[in-house]
Structure 1
Amino acid sequence: MDEKKLIEQQIFNDTSAYQDIMDLPYTSSKRHLPMEQIDRAAQFAPFGALEGFSSLIKDKTKDYTRKKYSTAAEEKCITQQLNYLETHPLKVDVNYFNDKSGYYEHLKGYLKKIEPQKGRVTFDETSIVIVNIRAIKLV
């Protein structure tokens, strides 16, 4: 059962507080005409803009998680990929942790140089710390 139905059950299942008015007949207003169905639905339309907003936030937070440190096996794999790219100029998508922004970002480009003594690699114009690289995929 989805979250909406669970909340609805929690709110509307206990009607004991309203037993005194449950059997009273409906009386329409003598001052106001009944609202048209289309107008009744339109008053809730602004909330339609929020539909799917929470799922969008969840999708974005997956991209912007805090830094996770790679295992030795993952670092070895990334090093092998970088060594391969040094001799094979292929366009790749690099997922890396940006120290300035504090989030993971994607960079699409070609490997320009590897500086093992500095622990950095350069893709096009961007220099990245090797241990901050999370994944390298072919584009």
Structure 2
Amino acid sequence: MDEKKLIEQQIFNDTSAYQDIMDLPYSPSKRHLPMEQIDRAAQFAPFSALEGFSGLIKEKTKDYTRKKYSTVTEEKHITKQLNYLHTHHLRVDVNYFNEESGYYEHLKGYLQKIEPQKGRVTFDKTSIIIVNIRAIKLAQ
């Protein structure tokens, strides 16, 4: 057994400090009624909210492993294209990372609005996060 396990065992398994009360019989409280089992379980309910949370994080992490992050040069190029499309009404094909599906998708449409404060753009009725855009090309 390694040293860490020995130390843990000494700290947590040492009941010598409680030997004087270890063999005493259980005596219920004279002031309070025993707590119902359902109420006792309810004390720990806040912790059950976190159950499954790590699974959700792993699932989202798996989705984001597919995402390719843009360089500063690529981001500037996309911003330049968006500004051009804002003044020129052209149908384009946008390749973007869809956070819900976890995959890259294509969208063909017209730029409706740019919301720089939110970091989003809207093509037809689809709102996309600007940094998730990989490429913009003229649609065929």
Taking structure 1 as the reference length, the TM-score comes to 0.53
Partner of 1:67: 67
Provide structure 1 residue ranges, at least 5 long, that are not aligned to the other structure: 1-64
Query: Separation in 2 of the partners of 1:109 and 1:97?
Result: 16
The aligned residue for residue 98 of structure 2 is 98
Give secondary structure in 2 for the equivalent of 1:121. strand
Letter of the aligned partner of 1:118 in structure 2?
K
Cα offset, 1:79, TM superposition: 0.1
**Aligned partners of 2:93, 2:81: CA distance in 1, in Å?**
12
2:118 and 2:75 mapped to 1: Cα distance?
A: 16
Matches within 5 A, 1:17-36: none
| CA root-mean-square deviation | 0.9
Structure 1 runs, 4 residues or longer, greater than 6 Å off: none
Once residues 83 and 98 of structure 2 are traced to their aligned partners in structure 1, the CA distance between those partners, rounded to angstroms, is 22
Cα distance in structure 2, aligned partners of 1:137 and 1:95: 8
Distance 2:123 2:117 in 1: 17
Q: Deviations over 1:74-105 (max 9, x none)?
A: 00000000000000000000000000000000
Unaligned runs of 5+ in 2: 1-64
Alignment of 1:100-115 (within 5 A): 100-115=100-115
**TM-score when scaled to structure 2?**
0.53
Report the 3-state secondary structure (helix = DSSP H, G, I; strand = E; otherwise coil) of the residue aligned with 1:81. helix
Matches of 1:98 and 1:89 in 2, distance apart?
24
Letter in 2 for 1:91: R
Deviation, 1:111, is 0.0
Secondary structure of residue in 2 paired with 1:137: strand
Which residue number corresponds to residue 129 of structure 2?
129
